[in-house]
Each structure stands twice: as structure tokens, then as C-alpha cells.
Amino acid sequence: MTDSPKTYIGRFAPSPTGSLHAGSLVAALASWLDARAHDGIWLVRVEDVDFTRNQAGAAERILQQLTACGLQPDQSPVWQSQREALYQRALDALIRSNHAYPCGCSRADILAVLSAQGRLPARGQEAIYPGTCRNGLQGRRARSWRVRLPEDAGQPLRWSDRRLGAQSQVLSLEVGDFVLKRADGAWAYQLAVVVDDAAQGVTDVVRGEDLAASTARQILLQRLLGLPTPRYLHTPLVRDASGEKLSKHLGAGAFEPGADSLRAALRVLDMPASAPTVAELLAAAVPAWQARWAIAGL
């Protein structure tokens, strides 16, 4: 845990699967502005636990891009790959409380069951785990670990987003027992992010709107592990000419560090974007962000 007396701690947590694109810059900038507007601490955490997707040198390029845009963390960045003992302790705690179980199903197994039940996911939707291994492996070899949703998961899990307003998700219908540790040994994003946010004392998560759908899962894990729930603000997405969200796996290129890219990101966030330099752009944006997104009591 951080020993800082600050009441606001935010973070930007990129995955080193390539350089940051324009959409990533919007999320990083919003996170930085929110921390600065609340006189808080801003952290950078490199989410590199998915070793199958990491790109050599990407983390260093990301940090260089952030620095070129004036977005420097207040503490040295941390790497998730160096924190695996924390994730194992969290998984062990969930196992002891019967909130996690081993699963022997491959993706093909899951889709075969869902197909037989007439519940195949539509394109772009998640496959909802049918619960095959919930009551035992039935002779299968354990491949992964899954959370065991509690009995009340059939009711909406409700939370409030500072930008999007009231949100809810019925985990049993929309997600199912989701993975905590994958068959290849990689820690799942949902578990790692919850453990790290708590360990770093994060009070506020500001990130792209595409991650809003993960929030209910993370709140559930926070409750099961007895961890605090931060405030959330999900930012607008940057889309390409066809309306698709910019993403690395669809080939979104790196943004060019400097004032022009920063101005474009500020426009997405509806912030002042007319100053000539990076320093002046950020100086004008902080009070504008504070006027719009100030948290009562901070």
C-alpha cells in the first residue's frame, strides 16, 4: 500500500502490446488531468501479465510517449509481471472461501455445450461459461481457474460512473463464472487489476469506455476479497473512419508525441485545446477539468 497522505490516487495502466495510439492518449490524459485537478498522485502501471501479447520494447516506448506529452507519473512505474505473488495470494483466498474452482474446459468445449443449448454468442459477444466444472472436473485435467459467482449474481450489480451515470450488469446472465487464471498460466486481467488497484491504494479509475463492461466483474472481486471499490470515470472512445474503436489489434498506429496529438486528445475530452505548447495546453486543461469533473469533498 502507498504511504502517501493524499486522498486521491489515480493510475494509467497500459498493456505493452505496442505503442500508444490516439485513443490510448485520451485515456492517459484524462487520468492525468483527474489526478492533477484533485491534487492527487498519478501512477503508471505496465499491465504485462499477458506474456503471449507483449511486444519487446513497447513498455519503454509507451513511457517515452507519455513523457513527450508532459504526462509523467509521480512514482516509478510498476510491472505486473513482477507482482505475481500478489495474484496467487488473492486466488488462494478465493479458493479457501469457495469462490474459485478449477476448470478443465477448452474454448471448443464451452462452445460445443453452448451450441447444444442454443446459446452460442453473437459476433463480438462473450461466451457465457455454462458451469460445466462448477461441481467438479468430472475426470478432466484442470486447465484454468474460474470465479464461482455468488447466489445473488442473478440480480443486477449496480454501480455509478462519474460520466456515464447509473450502470448495472447481471453477471450470471451476461458473463458467467469468468476466468481468474488462464490455461496457459497467465493471470486474467480482471483479477490482476483488482489486486493491483487495492495494493497501490488507487481511489479513482479513469479509463476508456470500452472497459465499462468489466467494472461489475471487478467490483464483485473487490467484494469477495474484502477490498475497497474505487470511483470510476469512463472516457469517450476514439473511432476510425468506419466507426470502429481504435485498437492495436485492428492496426491502430502510434500517435506522434507532441502538442498536435495532445490537442486532438483534449478535443475528444471537450477541453481547451488552443495553446501552442504541451506545457500550456496542460496548464489550461487542469482547471477546466476541475470545473467539470470535481469530486465533492476533495
DSSP 170-223: -HHHHT-S-EEE-TTSPBPHHHHHHHHHHHTT--EEEEEGGGGGGHHHHHHHHH
Q: Would you place residue 245 in the very low, low, confident or very high pLDDT band (cuts 50, 70, 90)?
A: low
Structural domain ending residue among the three candidates 152, 181, 210: 181
The conformational region for residue 185 under phi > 0 = left, psi -120 to 50 = alpha, else beta, is: left
Same domain, 171 and 222: no
Q: In this predicted model, what pLDDT tens digit does every residue of 33-58 receive, in sequence order?
A: 999 999 999 999 999 999 899 999 99
169 and 21 part of one domain: no
The count of structural domains within the chain is 2
Residues 219, 283, single domain; the answer is: yes
- Same domain for 40 and 19, yes or no, is yes
Confirm whether pTM is higher than 0.75: yes
Q: Are residues 234 and 205 in the same domain?
A: yes
Q: Specify the higher pLDDT residue, 215 or 250.
A: 215
pLDDT digits (tens, 9 = 90+) for 102-144: 999 999 999 999 999 988 888 777 889 999 999 999 889 999 9
pLDDT for 295: 96
Domain annotation covers residue 98: yes
pLDDT at residue 236 is higher than 50? yes
The CATH number given to whatever domain includes residue 288 is 3.40.50.620
